[in-house]
């Protein structure tokens, strides 16, 4: 029986590449850095990335089926339409800073304590994902999908334009600013008005409607 060919890249820096250096069967990238790469619509099938960094790369519509992502950091990357939902579940961990993730898909992914910092997540799909204690710092979540998503302890204090139905998601101890209450109450037709007097918030309402998972 032939032995599967495995190509390993350790501690390497890939700068301005447009084709991923892969083997015929399986490729492992361990502690590698990808800089200024244009990998639009690239096929990563069968690759495993461990402790890797992608900086200023175009990864739009990248094909990630059966790809391992273990402790991966994306910074300043364009990742429009990237589908993470079919990556390997084992040890999946990814964090994002200043990335464009519009229409990216994270359905059913377990990515606890994930950090989305300064990202555009317009139309991103988080249905049935586990984002316990995730942080969405200064992220635009316009039209992002949250359905049966676990968001316990998640931080949305500085996130904007999100709509999250408390009856369809788990939100125990999730954090929101008063400005974000409208995104929680949109489906109820409730208007939240915060009164401010001499720089102090007089009303920062919290709700506990029946059926809310908080």
Q: Taking CA 143 as the corner, what is the angle to CA 153 and CA 171, rounded to the nearest 5 degrees?
A: 20
| pLDDT tens string 152-191 | 999 999 999 999 999 999 999 999 998 877 788 776 666 6
Joined together, the tokens standing for residue 208 give 């506990």
- Tracing tokens 């519509």 back to the chain, one arrives at 61
Give the pLDDT confidence of 120-147 residue by residue, as tens digits: 999 999 999 999 999 999 999 999 999 9
Chain Cα centroid distance, residue 25? 28
How does pLDDT run across 44-65, given as a tens digit for each residue? Answer: 988 999 999 999 999 999 999 9
Q: pTM here?
A: 0.86
Alpha helix locations (H) across 85-188?
Answer: 181-185
CA distance 72 to 78: 15
- pLDDT top residue among 165 and 195: 165
Query: Do residues 149 and 129 lie in contact, with contact meaning Cβ atoms separated by under 8 Å?
Result: yes
Write the pLDDT tens digit of every residue in 12-45. 999 999 998 886 678 999 999 999 999 999 999 8
């Amino acid at each position: 029986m032939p032995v599967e060919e495995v190509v390993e890249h350790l501690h390497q820096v890939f700068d301005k590449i447009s084709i991923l250096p892969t083997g015929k069967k399986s490729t492992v990238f361990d502690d590698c850095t990808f800089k200024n790469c244009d990998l639009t619509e690239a096929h990563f099938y069968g690759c495993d990335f461990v402790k890797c960094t992608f900086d200023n790369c175009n990864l739009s519509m990248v094909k990630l089926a059966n790809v391992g992502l273990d402790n991966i950091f994306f910074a300043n990357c364009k990742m429009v339409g990237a589908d993470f939902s079919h990556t390997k579940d084992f040890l999946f961990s990814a964090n994002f800073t200043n990335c464009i993730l519009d229409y990216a898909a994270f359905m059913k992914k377990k990515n606890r304590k994930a950090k989305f910092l300064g990202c555009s997540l317009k139309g991103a799909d988080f249905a049935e994902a586990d984002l316990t204690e995730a942080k969405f710092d200064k992220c635009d979540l316009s039209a992002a999908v949250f359905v049966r998503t676990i968001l316990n302890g998640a931080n949305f204090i500085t996130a904007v334009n999100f709509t999250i139905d408390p009856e369809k998601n788990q939100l125990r101890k999730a954090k929101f600013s008063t400005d974000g209450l409208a995104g929680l109450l949109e489906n109820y037709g409730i208007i939240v008005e915060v009164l401010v007097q001499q720089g102090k918030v007089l009303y920062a309402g919290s709700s506990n409607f029946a059926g809310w998972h908080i």
